[in-house]
Amino acid sequence: MAQVCAVVFQPQGRLYYADPGALTVSVGDRVLYPTDEGPEVAQVVWAPEWVSEEMGALPVLEGLATDSDLEAAELSRKKRAAARVAGRRLIREHDLPMKIAGVDYVAATNHTTLYFTAPHRVDFRALVRDLAATLNGRVELRQLTARDEARLTGGIGSCGRELCCATFLVDFEPVSVRMAKDQDLPLNPLRISGACGRLMCCLKYEHPLYEEFAASAPALGSDVSTPDGDGRVVGHDVPGERVVVRMAADGRVSRCALASVCGSRKAYESRGEPEPAE
């Protein structure tokens, strides 16, 4: 058993999970969340709860944010806003095909990082020099992929929920068109693409279930025996673990549990499996 809470660094932002440690916090409290650049002010949006699942080594909150911490966080917010405005202005002046997607600022080192998207590689050396002179500090530019941009900006997916990448996904796993084919989805880019224009990450979620079903279910068009009689497979209901069979006797369609459907001797022999005992 362990205690877990969730915080955000900005309203409606991505959730970050943490161990409250010895702190007693509630929703709305401002706390210090450990990061690679030092503790950052975050807001609790999910009060600590005891969970039985293994969560791994979660970051431990370093304490409640003090007035000085909140003042530093407000200064950092203003610095990020100023960097975004200056970046947009200088991008227009340099006539570069870039769009700023996010800004980070580290007060301890006066280091500003601007994340941008562009259709191709961009020579931004002159832009960096002008930004450093304008912001009076070290400036770094990083180009993002389409998926990273969607993670930063957030949005609503075709399912009506917030984007997975902006809420809980930590890493992007490879997604292929084969996954859409295996799930019998239309190969229309508008139907299987996410807000980033790439294949939806959620195609990965149920794909193992479809692979397991395909390994044990009779193929489409094969003759099978069911409790309702003999027939031919005309469809698969993977989430329901059912096989759609058209009966040979009267042509009606029946949805049978996968466990109750038996294939023909020829089908079992072609798959190298012994015929089930009668």
Q: Is 120 exposed, middle or buried (0-12, 13-18, 19+ CB in 10 A)?
A: exposed
CATH number assigned to the domain covering 70-144:
3.30.300.20
Average pLDDT over residues 68-76: 91
User: Is residue 26 a contact partner of residue 9, using CB atoms and an 8 Å limit?
Assistant: no
Predicted local confidence at residue 268, as pLDDT: 46
Domains 70-144 and 218-270 equal at CATH topology level? no
Look at the alpha carbons of 81, 82, 83, 84 in this order and tell me if their dihedral is positive or negative. positive
Predicted local confidence at residue 162, as pLDDT: 84
CA atoms of 73 and 69, how far apart (whole Å): 6
Residues 150-188: tens digit of each pLDDT: 887 778 888 888 888 877 777 788 899 999 988 888 888
Pairing between β-strand 30-33 and β-strand 63-64 as defined by DSSP bridges:
antiparallel
Domain residue ranges in the chain: 2-65, 70-144, 149-204, 218-270
Residues 30-46: tens digit of each pLDDT: 999 998 878 889 999 98
Structure tokens at 160: 């009506």
Average pLDDT over residues 254-262: 83
Taking domain 218-270, whether its CATH number is 2.30.30.140 is answered by yes
CA atoms of 272 and 215, how far apart (whole Å): 12
Residues 178-214: tens digit of each pLDDT: 999 888 888 888 889 988 888 998 899 889 988 888 8
